[in-house]
Amino acid sequence: MAKLLLTAINAKYIHTNPAVRGLCVRLQQSYPQWANEIGIAEYTINQRTDEILAQLYRQRPAVLGFSCYLWNVSMVREICTEYKKAAPDTILFLGGPEVSYDASQQLEKLPEVSLIVCGEGEATLEALYPLLRQGQLPPEALAKIPGIVYRDGEEIRVNPPASPVDLSRVPFSYTDEELQSGRILYYESTRGCPFQCQYCLSSAEKGVRYRPLDQVYQDLDRFLAAKVPQVKLVDRTFNCSKTHALSIWKYLHHHDNGVTNFHFEIAAELLDEETLDFLSTVRPGLFQFEIGVQSTNPQTLEAIRRPADLEHLRRIVDTIHRGKNIHQHLDLIAGLPYEDFDSFRRSFNDVYAMAPQQLQLGFLKLLKGTGLYRDAQKYGIVVREHAPYEVLFTRWIDFGELLLLKDVAEMVEIYYNSGRFSTSIARLLPAFETPFDFYRALAEYWREKGFFSVNHRNEQYYELLWRFHQDRMEPCKTISSEQLKWILKYDLCLHQKPKRVEEAVAVDLYPQYREQVNGFFRDPQNIRDFLPDYQGMDPHQIQRICHGEVFPFHPDDPSMLPQTGLMVFDYHRRGWSGKAQSLWYPLLAVQ
C-alpha cells in the first residue's frame, strides 16, 4: 500500500502525465528502501469526482499529492475538500503550474492542503519526502526546504525558490508496460524558453537548460524500440538551439522504426537552409511541427513580445510543405491585445493561406505568472473567474464576437482539421471573399439550424455541408448541387467505404458500369499495373479490400469536365495524411 500517492487528472484517457511519473521514479531511485511505498494514480476529467474520490480512498495513502493544471484544478480542489473529511489524517499537498504562482492564496482557499510545491518539483520533493513519510511537518524543518509554501500554525510561509533542476538527473519515467499502452507519451529534452511571449508561463523563466544528448538518445531508443505511436516533446521551443535540435532530428531519422511520430513545438523562423534541406529527407509522418503564429497583427505581436517576419514565416512553411513529409500545425489565439474581430479575420486568412495541415484556433487564457496577467487591466482583458480563465472580452473584441469565433473554430476543426473535406472545401471557397467568410457563414448556418447542440455521425457532416450549399449558396457558380454530391462522395471514400448513404452522397453510376468495373478487377494486367500488391488474389477479395466508385468527372480536376472513370480506393495503403491511395481508370461511355 502506497504511503505516497502522486495523482494526475488528465484531459483525456489517451494522455499521460509526465510530471507525476518523473517525480515517482526520482523518489524511488533516491529512496530505494521505500520504493514500493511510492506510487501514482491517474484519472481523467471525464470521470465523476465521486468515482475518483472512492478510488483514492480505497488505496489509503498517508500522503496524497496532486498535479494541478488549468483543466483539472477545479476537480482537485473539490476532491481535496471532500477527501480530508473522509480521511482527516492524510497529508495533502499540491504542485504544478496552476498553483505555483499564487501558492499563498491557494493555501488560504484550501485549509485542507498542508503545502504547495512551487515550480520544478524533483529536488524539492526529494528533500521533502522523509518528512512526509514520517507524517510530521515541523515548521523548523520545512523552513530549510526551498521551493515550497507551507503552513506554520495560522501563518503561511513562503520559502525561496529551488535551484533549477539539472536535467541529467531527471530519470526516464515510463515503464515497459506504459511504452506498450498505445497512449500519447510526453518527453522533454529542454526546460525554459529564450522568448518572452507575454501569454505564456515560460516567459517567467530565464534561460534554457538542455538534457545531455547521450541521455536523450538513450531515452528515444526506448520509445523507438517499443514502437510508441506518438511522442510529444513538451520543450517550449524545441529548436531554440540548432545544434541540439538538429542532432536529435538526425538521430531519429537514422534510427527511424517506420512507425513512431514525434511532435515538436518549434519557432519556424529559426530554421535555416541546412536544417530545411535535411528535414525534406525524413520519412513522411516521422515528424510533426506545431508553430505558434498567434496573430499577424504587428501591434499585437509587439504587445505580446513575439516579433515575427510574416513573409519569412510564409517561406519557411512553404518550404516544409514542398517536402510533403511533415504535418504542420499553425496556431492562432483570439483575445490578444489590439486584435479586434476584423484583425483576427485578417490573421486567420493570412495563416489559412499558408495551408497548414491543421489550423488551431485557441482563445486567450490568462495564466498566473504571465505578463498579460499582470497587464490585464491595461488592456481591458476580462476573463472567466474560474479555470481555465478564458477571455470573455477585451477593449477590442466583445463577448458576442468571441462566441462567433468559437463557432468558427468548431467548423474549422470539423471541416478543415479533420482533413476529410479537403476537395469539397476547395470547390466551395471561391464563392466567398475569403476563407474566413466561408467558415463564418457555415458557423452561422449551423447556429441557426441548431446543429451545434446535436451529435453527428461522420457521414452526417457531409450531408450538413451539402445542405449548407443548398440553403445558402444556390445558385452557386463555382459548383452545382449535383457536382458537390460527387465531390463529397469522393472525400468520404478517401477515408472510408461509404456504408450509410446520406442524401449528400446518394449518387451512384455503378449499376450502369458494373461489367466494366468487374472487368477491371478481373484483368490481371490491370492488377499488375495499378494494384501490384494484390497480384494472384481473387478479384472478389480485391474488391472487398479496395473500393471502386464510378465518377462522371475526375474529382481532382478543378474544371470538373465530363469524363467517366473508375476511382479505386486502396484502404490498406494510405498516404502520410491518412487518405487512402486512389487511382483513376477511364471507362467507356455507356450508351
Residue ranges of domains in the chain: 4-158, 174-397, 402-504, 508-586
pTM: 0.92
pLDDT of residue 170: 93
Cα–Cα dist 132/29, whole Å: 17
Distances (CA, A) of 378 to 233, 316, 334, 374, 402: 34, 35, 17, 9, 20
Helix (H) or strand (E) holding 315: helix 310-323
pLDDT of residue 200: 87
Distances (CA, A) of 590 to 56, 88, 116, 415, 511: 69, 82, 76, 35, 11
Cα–Cα dist 83/495, whole Å: 47
DSSP state of 423: H
pLDDT of residue 369: 84
Q: What is the mean pLDDT of the chain?
A: 93
CA torsion angle for 389, 393, 396, 398 (degrees, to 10)?
A: 150
- The number of residues in the chain equals 591
Listed in sequence order, the residues at least 6 apart from 467 whose beta carbon sits closer than 8 Å to its beta carbon are 504
pLDDT of residue 590: 66
Single-letter amino acid code for the residue at 587: L
What letters, b where the CB count within 10 A reaches 16 and e where it falls short, cover 160-174? eebeebebeebbebb
| Strand 261-266 to 287-294 pairing | parallel
C-alpha cell at 56: 483514492
Cα–Cα dist 89/408, whole Å: 50
SS3 content of the chain, % helix, strand, coil (to 5): 45, 20, 35
Cα–Cα dist 94/107, whole Å: 9
Listed in sequence order, the residues at least 6 apart from 569 whose beta carbon sits closer than 8 Å to its beta carbon are 493, 494, 497, 546, 547, 548, 549, 580, 581, 582
Compute φ and ψ for 323, nearest 5 degrees.
-70, -20
User: Does domain 174-397 fall into CATH 3.40.228.10?
Assistant: no
- Beta-bridge partner residues of 333: 362
CA torsion angle for 317, 323, 327, 329 (degrees, to 10)?
A: 0
Q: What is the pLDDT of residues 106-162, one digit of tens each?
A: 999 999 999 999 999 999 999 999 999 998 899 999 999 999 999 999 999 999 999
Helix (H) or strand (E) holding 140: helix 139-142
Give me the residues of the chain with pLDDT under 50, please.
1
Cα–Cα dist 216/252, whole Å: 11
Single-letter amino acid code for the residue at 99: V
Cα–Cα dist 428/17, whole Å: 41
pLDDT of residue 2: 63
Compute how many other C-beta atoms are within 10 angstroms of the C-beta atom of residue 325. 17
User: Does domain 4-158 fall into CATH 3.40.50.2300?
Assistant: yes
pLDDT of residue 506: 87
Q: What is the pLDDT of residues 286-324, one digit of tens each?
A: 999 999 999 999 999 999 998 888 999 999 999 999 999
pLDDT of residue 478: 84
Question: C-alpha angle with apex 312: 310 to 313, nearest 5 degrees?
Answer: 65
DSSP state of 410: H
C-alpha cell at 4: 505516497
Compute φ and ψ for 265, nearest 5 degrees.
-90, 120
Cα–Cα dist 424/429, whole Å: 9
How far is Cα of residue 60 from the mean position of the Cα atoms in its chain?
Answer: 35
- Pick the closest to residue 108 from 48, 57, 151, 158 (CA basis): 151
What is the DSSP track for 52-88? HHHHHHHH--SEEEEE--TTTHHHHHHHHHHHHHH-T
Output the CA torsion sign for 188, 189, 191, 195.
negative
C-alpha R_g of the chain: 27
pLDDT of residue 14: 86
pLDDT of residue 202: 75
pLDDT of residue 591: 58
